[in-house]
Structure 1
């Protein structure tokens, strides 16, 4: 009976037609390791046979065709891939820990609480958790204090706010006049017919009487 091949759920297969390679990632922070690329000797032999068939023809060419007709499942049925996977898992075993709390695989360097024997998600480090809670409380208090202050005092709420000067087009941060050209930020276009000042700059006809503005 063939030996069982160990594997984990934090693995990504990045093997290709030339050989085998795997990535292992922490399920909390995303950091990880990539196993060394292991060339597939069978594929190398197939390349040599193809080259021989091209150069010499005849029997070598027939053998090359026979090799190309041999289809195998690289994903599950390759003994070479099983061995490469087992080696890769063994190589990174010391870099990861499986948490008994959530079952996820965590990197030992960043996401493992050695004092508790669980990942930092299940058993956060006390000092880090206190600092995180303090920062969250400080952020909430800043928002509460800001909401208690009147930030609209002195703001003209009756005049339409603009973000660009209608005269020179420069960006403005409020006020009544442009800091670049001095033009009014809320100019009125008076109708020569009815005298209405409700028309916007660029309007061709008066919005109240239809009189031509130009």
Structure 2
């Protein structure tokens, strides 16, 4: 891989400047799956020495006051003085080691780990997905699409058996309960499947009719259930 500056952006700094655990370590991550690789930890001798001396200086400060404080500042300044150069050198070493664990995609220019790398094409798995996995995915998608088409055909066949001509009563005219197209009201048992007919001419009476719209005869059962009595003329 080339372009060190681009690859240098692909890391997290885990270095510790001072203290007994001072040292250099850098974490590089795959720009595809975010899996990480950490460089080997390199102790920072000056930082560790300053940590030990600071602990000793704290003890000395308890005994000698300002003298111990001065020693503490001196060793801390010594550790900071060499930090920048030592860190830069450690980073160059970590960068060289990290390149052995990542590959740079020629298409998207991302650095990816071995699991996200397609060695046959020289591209990452995002730009050039594994052929066997792609075939398997396409096979499943084709199976799913065909199954959906068959399901729609089966639904269309079932729809042909649905009675869409007969008028359905959705609300009972007697008790006003939801009937949902049933033949009888689930609350009061009122017949809903058949439309009332005129006793004279046998014409179908619209819901709520008091008189036949064809011959003018009063409905055979009088006023429909739930309706107020018709006025007398």
Shorter chain as normaliser: what TM range?
Answer: 0.5 to 0.7
SS in 1 for 2:8: coil
User: Equivalents in 1 of 2:81, 2:119: separation in Å?
Assistant: 41
| Cα RMSD (Å) | 3.6
State the Cα distance separating 1:43 from its structure 2 match. 1.8
Say whether residues 1:85 and 2:120 are aligned partners. Answer: no
CA distance in structure 2 between the partners assigned to 1:49 and 1:98 by the alignment: 45
Query: Is 1:34 aligned with 2:38?
Result: yes
Aligned counterpart, 2:11: 11
Give the Å deviation of 1:60: 5.3
Q: CA deviation at 1:91?
A: 1.6
C-alpha separation in 1, matches of 2:32 and 2:138: 19
In the alignment, is the contact (CA less than 8 A) between 1:25 and 1:31 conserved in 2?
yes
Contact 1:49 1:64 in 2 (8 A): yes
Aligned to 2:175: none
Larger Rg: 2
Larger helix percent = 2
- 1:65 and 1:31, CA in 2 relative to 1: closer, same or farther beyond 3 A? closer
* Counterpart mapping for 1:96-135 below 5 A: 96-107=102-113, 109-135=114-140
CA distance in 2, matches of 1:145, 1:106: 42
Q: How many residues align?
A: 151
Structure 1, gaps ≥5 residues long: 159-186, 189-214
1:164-175 matched pairs, under 5 angstroms:
none
Question: In 2, distance between residues paired with 1:104 and 1:19?
Answer: 29
Q: 2:46–2:78: 8 Å Cα contact kept in structure 1?
A: no
CA contact (8 A) 1:49 1:60 kept: no
Query: Structure 1 residues 138 and 114 mapped into 2: Cα distance closer, same or farther (>3 Å)?
Result: same
- Equivalent-residue separation in structure 2 for 1:92 and 1:11 (angstroms): 10
Are residues 147 and 41 of structure 1, via their aligned partners in 2, closer, same or farther at CA, if it must alter by over 3 Å? farther
Instruction: Return the alpha-carbon distance in structure 2 between the equivalents of residues 23 and 148 of structure 1.
Output: 56
TM-score by length of 1: 0.56
Tell me how far apart the structure 2 counterparts of residues 61 and 20 of structure 1 sit (CA, whole Å).
27
How far apart are the structure 2 equivalents of 1:147 and 1:65? 80
Q: Contact 1:12–1:24 at 8 Å: present in 2 too? A: yes
